[in-house]
Amino acid sequence: MNYGVAAFPSKKLQDLANSYRKRYDPHYELITPHMTLKGPFEADASTIKDVAAEMQNIAKRQKPFKLHATRVSTFSPVTNTLYFKVEPNAEIAALHEDLHSDFFGGMPKHSFVPHITIGQKLSDTEHADVFAQLKMAGIDHEEVIDRMHLLYQLEDGSWTVYETFRLTGDDQ
């Protein structure tokens, strides 16, 4: 089964992201707006219990973090994906690093760009038009995230929460 780890922003930011996602993101109905902390990975029923236990340890080590969405950006020319850029900070980097320790199989092949996707799989023309509009509209949203969520993927491709972990930073 596929699992992943994400942080969900406030309803206010989710509503803003969804106002674009319903038009520009074919995954709109599969998952709510989120910041991916660990991309999809496979685990079986026994392994996922160990993963959840390790995530509980990570949640005790890591503090809540500031999520500051500062602008609309794109992964073009690699992919025609549009997103709210989340400013990197030490807490987000430490959490990402902990979720990519040797226990989890190490660091991913792509560098980590904190973001919330608002559009993907757009044609080149649509991507250019939408990006130009959204870049001008801009965004400046700040909040504190105090939870991370272990998700699993259902047969229809949608994602649902398996377990939620409160970031406390108690065991530093």
Q: Give me the pLDDT at residue 138, please.
A: 85
Length in residues, the chain: 172
Tally the domains of the chain. Answer: 1
| CATH number of the domain enclosing 122 | 3.90.1140.10
Q: Is residue 171 part of a domain?
A: no
Below-50 pLDDT ranges, the chain: none
Residue 10 sits in which domain range? Answer: 2-166
State the catalytic residue, choosing from 34, 68, 96, 127: 34
Q: Is residue 172 part of a domain?
A: no
Q: Is residue 35 part of a domain?
A: yes
State the catalytic residue, choosing from 27, 68, 110, 115: 115
Q: Is residue 150 part of a domain?
A: yes
DSSP string, 63-88: PPEEEEEEEEEE-TTT---EEEEEPP
40 half-sphere exposure, CB direction, 13 A CA radius: 9
Q: Is residue 129 part of a domain?
A: yes
Asked about 27 being catalytic, the answer comes back as no
Asked about 110 being catalytic, the answer comes back as no
Q: Is residue 60 part of a domain?
A: yes
Taking a C-beta distance cutoff of 8 angstroms, is the pair 72, 139 a contact?
yes
Q: Give me the pLDDT at residue 172, please.
A: 61
- C-alpha distances (whole Å) from 144 to each of 5, 16, 83 are 17, 17, 19
Q: Is residue 127 part of a domain?
A: yes
Q: Give me the pLDDT at residue 103, please.
A: 92
Copy the structure tokens of residue 37.
């902390």
Closest by CA position to 24, among listed 163, 122, 146: 122
